[in-house]
């Protein structure tokens, strides 16, 4: 099996590239979707996140994504600290989940598999791929898309 990484910043078009590959029959895992699934389905992860960034992000229905976004997306040192705390919880779980899925596809004989991950280089996973596709776009286009 050939394992391809798809990476790039917000608004560059990673999801578009991933969808193009899907329409051509490729299996593509999106790290953001996997993270969302983990956060939505595992109460113990929700509790860990609440401990890390504040109990008010936890509601009876699960995590309040809007509140989390307010706490982690910003330029202040506190925003960065909270974002890194969540990443330390989620990233290992996403990697573990993807590894399990890759093993299943390897056993099934899947020829090509791609993983869409914005932070592929930042978390040091680039060497685990046969190829990495870096998707980029001009800042004005990215801002417009976001």
What's the whole-model pTM score?
0.89
Residue 146 has pLDDT above 90, yes or no: no
Contact 35/96 with Cβ under 8 angstroms? no
Q: Closest Cα partner for 145 from 20, 4, 8, 6? A: 8
- Beta strand extents in the chain (DSSP E only): 2-7, 27-30, 58-59, 62-63, 112-116, 131-134
Residue 127 has pLDDT above 90, yes or no: yes
- Name the pLDDT band for 52 (thresholds 50, 70, 90): very high
């Amino acid at each position: 099996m050939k394992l391809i990484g798809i990476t790039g910043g917000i608004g560059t078009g990673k999801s578009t590239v991933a969808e193009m590959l899907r329409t051509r029959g490729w299996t593509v895992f999106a790290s953001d979707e996997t993270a969302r699934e983990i956060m939505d389905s595992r109460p113990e992860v929700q509790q860990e996140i609440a401990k890390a960034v504040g109990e008010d992000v936890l509601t009876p229905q699960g995590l309040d994504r809007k509140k989390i976004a307010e706490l982690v997306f910003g330029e202040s040192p506190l925003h960065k600290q909270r974002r890194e705390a969540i990443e330390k919880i989620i990233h290992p779980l996403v990697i573990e989940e993807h590894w399990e899925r890759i093993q299943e596809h390897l056993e099934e004989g899947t020829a090509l598999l791609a993983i869409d991950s914005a932070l592929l280089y930042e978390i040091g996973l680039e060497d685990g791929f046969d190829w990495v596709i870096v998707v980029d776009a001009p800042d004005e286009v990215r801002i417009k898309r976001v």
